[in-house]
Amino acid sequence: MTGEKVSQFRASALKMLVGAAVGGGVSAAALALAGAGLLDAMGPSRVALAGVGLVYLLMGGFVAFGLAAPQAGAKLLNVGDADELRDDRAGMARSVAVMGVTGALLLLLALARSPGFAAGPVSAEVAMGALLLSTVAGVFASWRWRNAFDELNWQLGLEGCLWAFCISWVVLSLWAAADFLGFGATLTPIDVVTTLSAMMLLGSFVAIGKRGMMTR
């Protein structure tokens, strides 16, 4: 490994460590704010869904910070320099919006009242309404933004979706089979939403990583 590659790897590792530390702190604060009673009532599936929602919100927050303070943001985000943040401000602002809405929506669903979870602080009607509204808005935004991406970003998006689908197919198929065959691995609708949402993130990282864009 060349000296330049080592330097890039160290810089990327440091960014990941900083991100992990901030994420851990935010997660700990969120758990403390929720309280043990609510967490116990939510159960593992809802807590996992809320955790994925927090990851989306944190990622959106990191990018928003980078847009607000390009010099500092360039040291935290996976970009070449501050000028890259400034040049791609519009595209990154769209990413902030998508990640923010997705994260907030997942948190709403995790906290929504439902049969077996009467302690939820969010009504089922509000959560379902937000889901429907965000779906319509997402379709409209996708149509409006269809020509706003260059060839590389289009290809990364397609590859990320393909990886997300393939990984989700394997995970959910095995999980569902273990459930209906009686191996005790219960698969709930919440688990499906959590898995698909998490795999979208993982698929994106795989697509970016395969092109060597994780170390810059």
Residue 156, pLDDT > 80, answer yes
pLDDT band at 152 (very low <50, low <70, confident <90, very high): confident
Q: Which of 197, 37, 28, 35 is nearest to 107 (CA)?
A: 197
Lowest model confidence (mean pLDDT) among 53-57, 60-64, 196-200: 60-64
Do residues 110 and 120 lie in contact, with contact meaning Cβ atoms separated by under 8 Å? no
Does 34 score more than 70 pLDDT?
A: no
For 172-189, what is each residue's pLDDT tens digit?
999 999 999 999 889 999
Task: Please name the residue ranges forming H helices in the chain.
Answer: 3-68, 70-76, 82-87, 89-111, 124-144, 151-180, 189-210
Greater model confidence, 211 or 11: 211
pLDDT at 160: 92
Report residue 210's pLDDT band, with 50, 70 and 90 as the boundaries: confident
Residue 128 has pLDDT above 90, yes or no: yes
CA–CA separation, 71 and 67 (whole Å): 9
Cβ-proximal residues to 47 (8 Å cutoff; 6+ apart), any chain: 39, 110
pLDDT single digits (tens) 49-60: 999 999 999 888
Least confident of 51-60, 70-79, 164-173, 206-215: 70-79
What pLDDT score does 198 carry? Answer: 94
| Stretch among 8-12, 174-178, 188-192, 198-202 having the lowest mean pLDDT | 8-12
Higher pLDDT, 111 or 78: 111
| Residue 115 to residue 155: CA distance in whole angstroms | 42
- What value does the mean pLDDT take over residues 5-26? 55
From the list 30, 207, 36, the residue with the least C-alpha distance to 107 is: 30
pTM of the model: 0.83
- Is residue 38's pLDDT more than 60? yes
- The predicted model gives 183-201 an average pLDDT of 93
Please report the pLDDT score of residue 139 as a whole number: 92
What is the predicted pLDDT for the residue at 94? 87
Residue 89: its pLDDT value, please? 78
Closest CA to 81 of 66, 92, 97: 66
Could you tell me if 131 and 63 are in contact, meaning their C-beta atoms sit under 8 angstroms apart?
no
Instruction: Please report where in the chains the tokens 């993130």 appear, as a residue.
Output: 201
Amino acid 134: pLDDT? 93
